[in-house]
Amino acid sequence: MNREILTGRPLRLLYSLYSQSKPVATYMVQIKQRELAKKLGVSRQALNVHLRKLRNLGCIRTGRGFIDITEEGLRMLGVSVSPAFIFVKVSPPKRHEAYQKMASLSVQQAFEVSGDMDAVLLVEQAEVDEVLRKLALVEGIQGSKTYIATQTLK
């Protein structure tokens, strides 16, 4: 992959955007609108009417070849946008295998960490019970603690 190094105004613009931004939960679908219309069995024009309504309600963002479902869209679907964090303690001799199994679970992200815990799993609230059930079957897991976000502070 050819990576260009940013300097000058583009770099300042990117930094300015980053410093003004806030992290948000989105789910991206990479699909062209004509493909989506065909999949749904509607005309492209009908699809555009529905997409425009969803965009105006703040439920989605669209671009060339993708549709993002926003936090508002997730709320309307009844999907919690507050994550859960599962902190996991792993037996040192079993870490490699346990990390591989944890990464294959229904998690948004998995991190190896230092400190009194060995891994942190970022999980959707709706998936917590299922992830914990599967985590209990992973050899080498010595324990876990689950924390559910109740409110975004920033």
What is the CATH code of the structural domain delimited by 8-76?
A: 1.10.10.10
Q: Give the bridge partners for 35, in sequence order.
A: none
- H or E element at residue 130: helix 128-135
Is 70 exceeded by the pLDDT of residue 105?
yes
Domain residue extents for the chain: 8-76, 83-148
**What distance in Å separates the CA atoms of residue 90 and residue 118, rounded to the nearest whole number?**
6
**For 3-62, how does the pLDDT look when each residue is reduced to its tens digit (9 = 90+)?**
677 778 878 877 787 777 776 666 788 988 889 999 999 999 999 999 999 999 989 998
Is 80 exceeded by the pLDDT of residue 127?
yes
**For 137-151, how does the pLDDT look when each residue is reduced to its tens digit (9 = 90+)?**
999 999 999 999 887
Domain topology for 83-148: Alpha-Beta Plaits (3.30.70)
Is 70 exceeded by the pLDDT of residue 113?
yes
pTM over 0.85: no
What's the 3-state SS for 71-120? Answer: HHHHHHCCCCCCEEEEEEEECHHHHHHHHHHHHCCCCCEEEECCCCCCEE
